[in-house]
Amino acid sequence: MLEIAKQIPTTPTLEKIAEVTPAIPHLEMMSREMPDDIVNLEEDLGWVFTGIGRFYEGQGFYALAEDSYERGLKATQELLGDCHPSVAFSIHNLASLYNLQGRYKEAELLFKQSLELMQKLLGDHHPSVATSINNLALLYNSQERYEDAEPLFKQALALRQELFGDRHPSVAQGLNNLAGLYQLQGRYEEAEPLSKQALALRQELLGDLHPDVATSLDNLALLYYSQGRYEEAEPLFKRVLVQRQKLLGDQHPDTITMLDNLAELQRLQGKSPTKITLPFSFLEPFGKQ
């Protein structure tokens, strides 16, 4: 069960969801009734709750994810003490979820708490510290606090390049995020080469059919869209929609957002929006950073 929990990514595909779904009730039972029975608490305790949380968060079931992350934080504090890496990771999980929900004040407090604890326990040159810096920057970006976000994005990218070299998925993420920041500021000439570099690197490292590749395609399409380059943006939006339907399904919040973006683009071009039948329960707008 623990090995399955560790294999659940932050954005699980339909294939991965189907693969791990039978294990979720067992992980839930383990997390609720027997966390102190885990043999290697130091290494594995946090993964029980993280796996469950990612399973739900990746499908847009944020309330269920929050329950798992909150229980994970409580369990790690009780069984490992307040000053432990698993506690820092648990705090970070909860902060990331709050950011997705737009609960920025709560998220910022937890991101800073997690980062401070990680730096204390792991040092300044650690992959988890780079991730924490990056996600704090994403929070500021969501709030349009661009002057606060930019130096953190650059710091996280430089640290990842130092730790992993230039050809690594984490480096591609850093390039993508910095490009997104420049795009929101209207710095399109700076954003476009970074966005294309991130896309090319992700395609090389992850293959064409991967959630991160879809994200990079989406961001490049939005960059074109922001400049009124609709003819260049439309085929990219369509590629992203197809990829997200295949990987995440029609009901996923990211798929809904992509459909909305494509429909708005086609409306601006005077075209009839692409028609795709979706379940009624998912007609309300969703969004994800």
Q: Is-contact 8 51, C-beta < 8 A?
A: yes
> Which helix (H) or strand (E) segment is 222 a member of?
helix 211-226
Buried b (16+ CB within 10 A) or exposed e, 200-229: ebbbeeeeeebbbbbbbbbbbbbbbbeeee
Region of poorest pLDDT, from 57-66, 256-265, 270-279: 270-279
Mean pLDDT of the region 207-217: 92
Banded model confidence at residue 286, pLDDT cuts 50, 70, 90? very low
Are the C-beta atoms of residues 212 and 202 closer than 8 Å to each other? yes
d(CA 144, CA 189): 20
Burial class (CB in 10 A: 0-12, 13-18, 19+), 112: middle
User: What pLDDT is attached to residue 275?
Assistant: 45
Average pLDDT over residues 233-240: 92
Q: Which amino acid is at 49?
A: F
Q: What is the pLDDT of residues 174-195, one digit of tens each?
A: 999 999 999 999 999 999 999 9
The pLDDT of residue 150 is 97
Q: In the predicted model, what is the mean pLDDT of the chain?
A: 90
pLDDT over 80 at 247, yes or no: yes
Q: What is the dihedral of CA 223, 158, 86, 11, to 10 degrees?
A: 30
Q: Please report the pLDDT score of residue 289 as a whole number.
A: 31
Closest CA to 126 of 89, 91, 78: 89
What is the rounded distance in angstroms from the CA atom of residue 279 to the CA atom of residue 96? 28
Q: What's the maximum distance between 2 C-alpha atoms anywhere in the chain?
A: 62
**Residues 209-225, mean pLDDT to the nearest whole number:** 92
What is the per-residue pLDDT for 167? Answer: 95
pLDDT band at residue 273 using 50, 70 and 90 as cut-offs: low
Q: Is it the case that residue 212 has pLDDT exceeding 90?
A: yes
pLDDT at residue number 258: 86
CB 179 within 8 A of CB 198: yes
**Per residue in 71-82, pLDDT tens?**
999 999 999 999
Please give the Cα distance from 230 to 134 (Å, whole number): 30
Q: For residue range 81-138, list pLDDT tens digits in order.
A: 999 999 999 999 999 999 999 999 999 999 999 999 999 999 999 999 999 999 999 9
pLDDT digits (tens, 9 = 90+) for 256-266: 888 888 888 88
CA distances from residue 176 to 77, 138, 180, 201, 202 in whole angstroms, order as listed: 34, 11, 6, 10, 10
Rounded CA separation 113/207 (Å): 36
Q: Tell me how far apart the alpha carbons of residues 47 and 155 are, in angstroms, rounded to a whole number.
A: 27
Q: Mean pLDDT across the stretch 214-233? A: 92
